[in-house]
């Protein structure tokens, strides 16, 4: 039996998100030069991704693929694991069908499938996993 849980996290934005990562595909929503700029265009905080992005592409339908320099763990309120490749669909204020991201809750790792923010924007990020 698979259950979904909705977790409310207070997101701490890393101050080291200044990597200049160029897009592999020109099919991005605009001429943004970094994946973090594209996240902000979709009203998503740049802090939902680690600062180890090597390359990314975004298709016109919102499907994205992000390659990292290596697997990594980020400690927000919970530990979040990012695989070498992260993919999903961008929507305004949300990321759906997310693959390559897991969150640890009480020693158990769960796949993260959906991320959503409040509109208008607040400091809270909702993560659906399970």
Give me the tens of pLDDT residue by residue for the chain, a chain 130 residues long: 333 333 333 333 332 222 223 333 334 444 547 999 999 999 999 889 999 999 999 999 999 999 999 999 998 888 999 999 999 999 999 999 999 999 998 899 999 999 999 987 777 889 898 7
Residue 62, SS3? coil
Domain ranges of the chain: 5-129
Residue 79 forms beta bridges with which residues? 75, 104
Residue 44, SS3? coil
Q: Alpha-carbon distance 4 to 6, whole Å?
A: 7
Closest to 96 (Cα-Cα) out of 42, 22, 57: 42
pTM above threshold 0.85: no
């Amino acid at each position: 039996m698979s259950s979904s849980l909705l977790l409310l996290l207070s997101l701490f934005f890393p101050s080291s998100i200044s990597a200049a990562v160029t897009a592999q595909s020109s099919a991005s929503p605009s001429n943004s030069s970094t994946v973090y700029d594209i996240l902000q265009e979709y009203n998503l905080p740049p802090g939902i991704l680690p600062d180890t992005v090597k390359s990314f592409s975004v298709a016109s339908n919102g499907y994205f693929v992000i390659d990292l320099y290596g697997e990594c763990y980020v400690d927000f309120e919970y530990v979040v694991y990012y695989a070498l490749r992260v993919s999903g669909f961008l929507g305004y204020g949300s990321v759906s069908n997310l693959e390559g991201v897991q969150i640890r809750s009480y020693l158990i790792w769960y796949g993260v499938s959906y991320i959503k923010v409040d509109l208008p924007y607040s400091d809270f990020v909702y993560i659906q996993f399970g």
